Amino acid sequence: MLYVITCTDKANSVDLRMSVRPDHLAYLETAGDRLKVAGPLLSIGEDPKPIGSVIIIDAASDAAVQLFADNDPYATAGLFEKVEIKPWKAAVGVWAQSE
């Protein structure tokens, strides 16, 4: 099943995010083709800054996706103020055609 992990960074945490980013990216690579898409949420304005993350991943269970989210280096470094995990199903669009 596909899940969306939506994470909101703590205030004033861009420096922490950037310092942990290489470990976070390496961790995402361990998911292989289970990882469908991932990237930062950005602030609105002329100079957008990262303010969170979105990950769409195929996981075997609620417990498996929770474990994946909990072990993300961003999470273990204390970057996130809030993490939400929801099952997701593509309904329309290019991605929906392959699901």
* Unique residue bearing structure tokens 């470990």: 23
pTM: predicted TM-score of the whole model, two decimal places: 0.92
| Measured CA distances, 61 to 4, 17, 23, 66, 87 (Å) | 13, 28, 24, 9, 10
Secondary structure E strands in 1-99:
2-9, 35-42, 50-58, 80-88
What would the pLDDT profile of 50-62 be if each residue is shown by its tens digit?
Answer: 999 999 999 999 9
| pLDDT band at 90; cut points 50, 70, 90 | confident
Q: How confident is the model at residue 71 (pLDDT cuts 50, 70, 90)?
A: very high
Task: Name 32's bridge partners.
Answer: none
98 pLDDT above the threshold of 60? no
Question: Please, what is the average pLDDT of the chain?
Answer: 95
Q: What is the mean pLDDT of residues 3-13?
A: 97
Reference 34, options 59, 53, 54, 55; nearest CA is 59
Domains and CATH numbers, the chain: 2-89 (3.30.70.1060)
